[in-house]
Structure 1
């Protein structure tokens, strides 16, 4: 039997490359037939489409795309949803799809209609608290019209879904409390943003060129948005003043100019290197650093957040510096969720110079532990391993909903 995965973002988006395609590849390796529908911000050429389809076919994925429209927001999204439903209905019939796997709310709305039209089962993959995220970002007023529409859609999706995936245990608790009737007697499974821990062939080549050491802190990911560039600049300015010889290495695809300006204002721009890196080279580039930084904006939506960078840091053997209240990070870094209760990072409790200094003192103490790097890697294996956590849990869900591949064929 075949599954259709609907993803309301580009196949070229870094998040799609790291948090969609690897899971679908794992399902295909297990024998499930997978069709992927994405929404592209520009019209792809025939050659781009053909190359993309050939590349994904090699990973066991059949790929189709439609245009994404951004403005005006509500009409554009409604149009995309309509086109998505029509395209998905055609794909369901063409590929004999029995499961529609919807990544977040907009694909969920498409899948809800498809379930009624075709009888296909619905797997709802909740990637966060969508309505609360827009409120936290200041885009929507709390309890405004779009907020209420989204929450009503969310309730309908939870009621119609045959199984639900969330990113964090705290999100799971939230949804069980909000939607007790809709979640009764159905699987509600936590799968965080996982990291591929399999050995990479380019590690030794990349490692030889790395300047990391015990006096280098690192940051990976976007600048701005949910990740607090101002707060990170403040934190690192404090850290550089407190720890002689400390440097900051930033790996990002974002425009570095705003961060450079913030660093210059704080007088530490000479201690920071900002570069970009292909995703497959990042694991080796991170190793040997002092710690990895992850400061995400707080708010009601933060409980459902699973920053990919946390797993990436831990997999590289780095302790993590993160602010409190983000997903399951508090329990993870403090060691509460570990069998031996060993901490693998420190928590920033306030965005202030005193709180930054307190976290840095805790980090210096933590790094005296000779087993710290191995403990970080073990935490990554327990919580974020793509094969043991991500693939295993998604495969179990698919097997339960549409049968194991041997049963389906």
Structure 2
């Protein structure tokens, strides 16, 4: 955002939606001050509905209340969008979620500004996987219809991967521009650690929001497969905001769960040997571009991933910086891991540099900012 704001033709206002019980006033002040230094203003939109109203209620009551809470949040966000439109006269609204795009669609039609829909994922499929909805479920079909209206109503659609672009093109006959989830290369530096055969390998697994399709349990299976091929075994470290919940979910002494500040994550990656990326095989995974993937690469880590996650398979294969594993054939994992484990001692520096180079050539903001400026219509 700060790099984008360097363009003299842009004046940026960020509206960030936060849950009332998760707000951190000190962090918000620091972020606001940091962005203000780059000429970006921050406005926090507080979701007034407590998360418990959406999750910790009997199923019947939840089914009744959830749509009401959602409609109330959207109504308030739409009113805010119209107020901002009157005060700031924006030429572009960049909606970075389905809800934001839903609220902004009316503003786009009335104020004649451009709407950039940046969904970040295939939400109907993600909700179906998380909630267990069937393909003919009314809730799933409602979200899919909303998605189609947002895709067709936007001036530009952003996809985070080529598979996502193909998915949206098939669903709504649109032509998305692909802007991958990029990484701030200045935050990450490849470590100098070379694993010795007499020491256990250090695996690291970054988990932001632990949703069901994250398949965190597969990380334990992966640790065992690595340990089977390394003389001193392997240690798995999971870094997640809610370490206690993750520890309870995995319920295994084989894993260390930590909560780290954002600024401490690059150092934790530099001290590791392998990055872990596991997800269930769903449509949401097939179109995804997990942020942790370029972060692993920027830190010089080879990546162990399950198949069917966006463009991860192709990048690992073409760049030789990791292994994609079939989640339905876990018994074969040790055999597929053996060549990479052998390279960790004999070609560790080559692996480190190849991973970093992949991050620089595929996931650097310098490649994506011109595409984003074009989506904003600055080149017209």
TM-score tier after normalising by the smaller chain length: 0.7 to 0.9
| Residue 395 in structure 1 maps to residue 378 in structure 2 | no
1:348 to 325, 333, 348: 325
2:134 to 138, 141, 149: 141
Q: CA deviation at 1:88?
A: 0.9
Q: Partner of 1:194 in structure 2?
A: 182
Q: Partner of 2:222 in structure 1?
A: 235
CA deviations on 1:270-308 (whole Å, 9 max, x unpaired) are: xx4433322233223212532111101221221221111
- Contact kept? 1:227, 1:297, Cα under 8 Å: yes
1:118-157 mapped onto 2 (5 Å cutoff): 118-157=111-150
Q: Partner of 1:66 in structure 2?
A: 45
Point out where structure 2 has 5 or more consecutive residues left out of the alignment. 55-64
| Residue 34 in structure 1 maps to residue 12 in structure 2 | yes
How far apart in 1 are the matches of 2:35 and 2:29?
Answer: 10
The 1:45/1:132 distance shift into structure 2, 3 A limit, reads closer
Q: CA deviation at 1:27?
A: 1.6
The 1:41/1:29 distance shift into structure 2, 3 A limit, reads same
Q: CA deviation at 1:238?
A: 3.1
Cα-Cα RMSD: 2.7
- Contact kept? 1:213, 1:288, Cα under 8 Å: no
Q: Partner of 2:355 in structure 1?
A: 376
Task: Indicate the SS of the match to 1:198.
Answer: helix
1:256-275 mapped onto 2 (5 Å cutoff): 256=244, 258-259=246-247, 262=250, 264=252, 269=254, 272-275=255-258
Question: TM-score when scaled to structure 2?
Answer: 0.84
1:302 to 278, 285, 297: 285
Point out where structure 1 has 5 or more consecutive residues left out of the alignment. 1-23, 336-341, 405-409
1:312-391 mapped onto 2 (5 Å cutoff): 312-335=295-318, 342-367=319-344, 368-369=346-347, 371-385=350-364, 387-391=365-369
Q: Partner of 1:57 in structure 2?
A: 36
Task: Indicate the SS of the match to 1:244.
Answer: coil
Q: Partner of 1:10 in structure 2?
A: none
Runs of 4+ in 1 over 3 A off after TM superposition: 43-55, 210-214, 256-264, 365-370
CA deviations on 1:331-370 (whole Å, 9 max, x unpaired) are: 11111xxxxxx31110111244413213321322443445
- Contact kept? 2:229, 2:341, Cα under 8 Å: no
Q: Partner of 1:224 in structure 2?
A: 210
How many residue pairs match? The answer is 356
Q: Partner of 1:77 in structure 2?
A: 70
- Contact kept? 2:216, 2:279, Cα under 8 Å: no
- Contact kept? 1:194, 1:311, Cα under 8 Å: yes
| Residue 277 in structure 1 maps to residue 260 in structure 2 | yes
How far apart in 1 are the matches of 2:144 and 2:84?
Answer: 28
The 1:29/1:281 distance shift into structure 2, 3 A limit, reads farther
Task: Indicate the SS of the match to 1:165.
Answer: strand
- Contact kept? 1:163, 1:397, Cα under 8 Å: yes
- Contact kept? 1:67, 1:80, Cα under 8 Å: no
2:101 to 95, 101, 108: 108
CA deviations on 1:28-85 (whole Å, 9 max, x unpaired) are: 1223111111222117698876665434322322122222135322111111111111
